[in-house]
Structure 1
Amino acid sequence: MDPKRNSISAHYLDSICQGAARRGLSADSVRAQAGIPAELSPQARLTSDQFSRLLLDVFGRADDEFLGLTDQPCRHGAFVMMAKQAVMLDDLRQVYQHIERFYRLVTRDLNFALRVDAGEARFDLMLERPQLDPQATLREFYLLLMHRFPSWLVGKRIALRRVDMAGDEPAHADEYGLIFGQPGQFNQPSSALVFDSAALYWPVVQTRESLRQHLDDAPLTWVTRQQIYPTISRRVRQALRQTQPIGSARIQAVAAQLHMTERTLRRRLADEGTAYQDLKDQVRRDYAAQRLAQPHVLMADVAGELGFSDPGAFSRAFKGWTGQAPRHYRGDR
């Protein structure tokens, strides 16, 4: 499991904490709610679970889906309202036009615009006060969201030609390939997703029922490697999270819980582009990161809970998952 493909740069943590502070939240409380160590190593990467909890905390306690990075907050629940209308539309063009109109009604701080020219569709994002988003965190997050959510609605990934960004190339530019599948193009007139305009005719295939589950899993579904129909993967992760200790989980037991044979489970997961061991490692990684955020927890205890024979084996596995040894991850000296 490539640690970078299954984690998020800690660079975003500082930016989100700064925005949260504008809404009256302390950095310490934001970190604690997300299960992120107070002395996180500068080279550490956040798990998708930590980043999801970070977003949910700021959305909820600050009541701001713009993460404190605009002049006025965007009240929590705005995205859900937009999504419930979007799932009832006919095709991708209508979805992007709806997003443009919706955010024009709810805010003056962030604007979208769909432009089509010579076979190329461009979905622009502009901030009224970009100086409030100096590290482009809000722009990157909403471009990610406006790529992944419409892709989910039409049931297939929108292949991007480019990702344009206003402003200079940042130190974390390598993240763009992981986030969007394309390197960023910087110092552009505006920030935008650029793709083949033929995709605008793709029909919306999701339903209000599937949207309900999608929103229940959000924002985790937005910040993990995208699977358009991750039904079995989601159920396996749920079963693994409910198994205590996690290290005792066996595929035969999980398959039985899902009322299928082991062979069928492996095949269904392969169809979704994943495997049982990858999902188990993801759940163990998230659990380990959460436990290591507690300063007095012993690594030997975490290793045992995750099914490792000794702390050394756990340390090697954790480094494979996150790119860092456990003691470096939580800033132990």
Structure 2
Amino acid sequence: MAVEKGTISVQLVGEALLEARRRGLDVAALLERVGLPAQALERPYGRVPSALYGQLWRALAASMDDEFFGMNARRMKAGSFAFMAAIALREPTLGAALERVLAFCGLVFDGLSPRLVQQGSLAEIALDEPDGQHSRAFAYFTLWLMVHGLLCWLAGRRLPILGIDLRCPAPGYLEDYRVMFCDNLRFERPSSRLLFNADCLAQPVRRSERELKRFLAGAPANILVRYRDPQSLGARIRAYLRSLSAARWPDFEALSSHFYMAPSTLRRKLAQEGQSYQGLKDQVRRELAITRLDAGEGDFVELAGVLGFADISAFYKAFKKWTGSTPGQYRALIHPTPDCPKRSER
């Protein structure tokens, strides 16, 4: 089922309310307070506006005095996210800001200690958890939403996620998570982590104190919507390309015809979204390559052909540009063995 722009599945609303229900809070009154009809949650495929979900998020956090909705042994007291954003804003680079955010999260949570790990041009936010224990998927994704969403805001743009590993089993509903984060979600893994390109760590923080007040006034609804747009032209073109083999990808003239636009109009609309056709093709190739490598793909020559590259060297060059590593290095990070060298930490 397609994810509508600016809406959230009632499945995630139910996840947010789970601990509140267990603790006997008057959830019906809470829903009424934010103008969300309780019967709307009874439709299994129903969706609610992101703005309403954001209001529910804030009301629930205030009622529980816990911005993590009771999903950790220690409360993330109301105001914690604002404080975390304020201390991150004082740092000069995204890397330094992320270090402060993760250190703060380590102080707030029990048994959920995040740390930044870097290997070459690949980086990850790794979560240290007690052996044999894991949180439910909604808890992990809530943490990623806060950390990654804040980092995107500080950068002034979306920072692409290469993949997410979680120790927990896959939940029954994943579509919104794929839109918010990435398609490359893996469950029942040895450890939980979020993978991204390390080159963004050196980028400057681009926000001001004045912008922080406006950001916090709109959070978390602005995070839920600002850094995703499944109905954008770029998103529709990526979906179209994924439906075809790379060998059948159209040239720009044919693509324009498929979307019933003149080439100049398509080029202008993509430019307004900060996109280009070549960039979109590269994004889809990267997603497909990472998915195949995660599945254990070892024949890089065959993979290069599937992705539409003329030869293996062109594939290696492109993959190095996308991720900062070779396909073999990336696969070693995804599927570590006892013989792999120890990763370095920042």
* TM more than 0.5: yes
Shift of 1:189: 2.2
Asked if 1:182 is matched to 2:183, the reply is yes
Deviation per CA, 1:188-239: give whole Å up to 9, x if none.
Answer: 2233221111111111111111111111111111211428xxxxxxxxxxxx
Alpha-carbon distance between aligned partners in 1 of 2:34 and 2:66, rounded to the nearest angstrom: 16
Shift of 1:126: 4.9
- Matched AA of 1:222: I
Report the counterpart of residue 86 of structure 1 in structure 2: 88
- Equivalent pair of 2:35/2:52 in contact (CA under 8 Å): yes
- Matched AA of 2:28: D
Equivalent residues in 2 for 1:182-331, closer than 5 Å: 182-226=183-227, 271=272
- Matched AA of 2:73: D
Instruction: Give TM-score, length-normalised by structure 2.
Output: 0.61
Cα gap change, 1:190/1:72 in structure 2, threshold over 3 Å: closer, same or farther? same
SS at match of 1:198: helix
Worse-superposed segment, 144-153 or 179-188 = 179-188
Shift of 1:176: 2.6
Task: Supply the RMSD in Å over aligned alpha carbons.
Answer: 2.6
How many residues of Structure 1 are paired with residues of Structure 2 in the alignment? 230
- Equivalent pair of 1:52/1:220 in contact (CA under 8 Å): yes
SS at match of 1:224: helix
Instruction: Give TM-score, length-normalised by structure 1.
Output: 0.63
- Equivalent pair of 1:167/1:186 in contact (CA under 8 Å): yes
Shift of 1:185: 1.6
Alpha-carbon distance between aligned partners in 1 of 2:24 and 2:133, rounded to the nearest angstrom: 19
- Equivalent pair of 1:82/1:99 in contact (CA under 8 Å): yes
Report the counterpart of residue 102 of structure 1 in structure 2: 104
Alpha-carbon distance between aligned partners in 1 of 2:207 and 2:225, rounded to the nearest angstrom: 19
- Equivalent pair of 2:86/2:212 in contact (CA under 8 Å): yes
Asked if 1:32 is matched to 2:32, the reply is yes
SS at match of 2:39: coil
Cα gap change, 1:131/1:50 in structure 2, threshold over 3 Å: closer, same or farther? farther
Alpha-carbon distance between aligned partners in 1 of 2:65 and 2:111, rounded to the nearest angstrom: 16
Report the counterpart of residue 61 of structure 2 in structure 1: 59
Shift of 1:115: 0.6
- Equivalent pair of 2:167/2:191 in contact (CA under 8 Å): yes
- Equivalent pair of 2:162/2:182 in contact (CA under 8 Å): no
Cα gap change, 1:161/1:103 in structure 2, threshold over 3 Å: closer, same or farther? same
Cα gap change, 1:191/1:202 in structure 2, threshold over 3 Å: closer, same or farther? same
- Matched AA of 1:95: A
- Equivalent pair of 1:22/1:68 in contact (CA under 8 Å): no
Alpha-carbon distance between aligned partners in 2 of 1:195 and 1:181, rounded to the nearest angstrom: 11
Report the counterpart of residue 114 of structure 1 in structure 2: 116
Which structure 1 segments of 5+ residues have no match? 228-266, 274-333
